[in-house]
Structure 1
Amino acid sequence: MTRILVTGAAGFIGFHTAKRFLAEGVDVVGVDNLNDYYDPQLKADRLTLLAAEQGFDFHELDLADGSAVAALFDSNPFDAVINLAAQVGVRYSVEAPDVYVQSNLVGFANILEGCRHGKVGHLVYASSSSVYGANTAMPYSTKHSVDHPMSFYAATKKANEVMAHSYSHLYGLPSTGLRFFTVYGPWGRPDMALFLFTEAVLNGDPINVYNEGRMQRDFTYVGDVVEGIYRVARRPPTTDADWSSDAPDPGMSGVAPFRVYNIGNSEPVELLRFIRAIEEATGCEAKMNMLPIQPGDVPATYADVNQLMSDTGYQPSTSVEEGVARFVHWYREYYKVRTLA
């Protein structure tokens, strides 16, 4: 592997992923549309760091622009494509589903076409734990049904998985979907709970704690996630000889080089423990507004990552307390927040 495409390179996970491959001596072409869903300055600062790395080439473009995506693939041979560009956010998808159609469906279809015509060796793409929807069996397994999404965002992510399978089957494109579970860490998104909570706690403002703090999430440190992405990207899937069409395993395929993995910490953490880690890292007490669960949210997520561990050697190793402390340290440095004595 010498040259790859990382979409969403100015985003949280895309930035860390590009850095990891560059550190391994792989040339990275990064693309992003630099939209203003959250602070564009944060994206610009991530790109500034990437631009300082040898082997990084950035293109500003929208994946929904089919001609621009086709031109990118025509001028760049890629060994692999890591598609991390998407319109994110469960709650925003309730307000603006049309944005998700363009970014997550049209944009992903254009990536599939680029991979097909560019004869890309492996497509790795971001899915989401939200695809499990109304399923309450824990831990979430790729063997479980994902037929009942609870948000339009989740529906677009499931659509990505079935779109990828069709291209894997029709055109022999090896594809791997990664269902991310609540990724957090330095350079994280301002709309995520850790960022919002840290900002509020340091300012002495109250935080909204939904489901009375009983929400459970499989908080996964971004460094562990990137390690998983790196391992998966270097291992294109093949058809599975043991797959049965009478009782099909939805996480793999006997008719296509296709895989879907959970990528999480495999340890459910209650939101109140997460908040306590923020308090410890900041040295400040959180003021909490206890509220009911929000529409589109699920009360708990918990990943079964055994298949990913077995296939790639993936092993998450960062505790919530350690990961939160690293984020708070970054936040204080980036925003020049005074460190308490």
Structure 2
Amino acid sequence: MSRPALDPELNTLLAGMPLVQEITPELLTDLRGMTAVPVEPLLAGRALNRREITVPVSGPVSGPVPGQEGARIPMTILTPTDAGAEPGDRAGAPCVYWIHGGGMIMGDRFSQLDIPLEWLDRLGAVVVTVDYRLAPEAGGTTPVEDCYQGLLWLAEHAAELGIDPDRIVVAGASAGGGLAAGVTLMARDRGTPALAAQVLICPMLDHRNTTASSRQYAGDPGVWTRETNVFAWKALLGDLPDDQVPAYASPARADDLSGLPTTYVDAGSAEVFRDEDVEYATRIWAAGGQAELHVWAGGFHGFDALFPEAALSATARRTRTDWLTRTLTRPEPARD
């Protein structure tokens, strides 16, 4: 199939990057080691407090993961400092709950962390980033349930963390975007916590791989191909029939997208997830919800995370940050 052309600058940058057509179990082991991100360079020079915690999680609704009863998930809390103030002294800050990407098969809570750190810098937002158990060791709804349990802990401790409970945003990239969508559906259906917004960056939403964009990005090496996508979803879901896949794991399967918080969705025109992301935003509008959608011409999957200095990446990141600024800015109180 023919494909949209890549942005010329991104195309040049991509030429120097090793690409694969399909991840295998053997390659996954290597990639997990290669994708571990040291967080210290990202935090260096920033005025913030860092706190590490672990949160106990129960198993998913289908039952606990064998051998992982009593599991705890790590979370990192990053709070901007105000002239030496302690984190709990900063009442009313917005909060970004960050869920990392990696196809639900790799990555950790520091992956793509530079994206929400921009929001910490610009908005004074508290950033809470969560680890979740990865497939294939933990499949089904386990990753999204882990993320939801972390969100519940965050909401319950909002006052202690100096967070405005009315300005909590769930955000993530790629698989993290799909998990953010799943967590948001859970929060709606279970009645807690209230969310101000969800930010879905090139989200991984649909296990079925039936779209035109999925078929376009097959047969050749790439950043994230149809073949790799099939591998990742199978790692998560095994051989579960389509009609039994929970919508919390594959949010495109949700019958009802009403009642969701305001939503930001973006993707590249030259990536596997393009069409499922456009469809998700379209269905939010159809349900009477509010969504802002951007499809960046010539962008491949994760372009702005891999090459943030590129012109198209800078535009995409600035546009996303401007939207979040508008969404989280409190209106000025009325004057008499």
- TM range, normalised to the smaller chain? 0.3 to 0.5
- What TM-score do you get using the length of structure 2 for normalisation? 0.35
As a proportion of its length, which structure holds more helix?
1
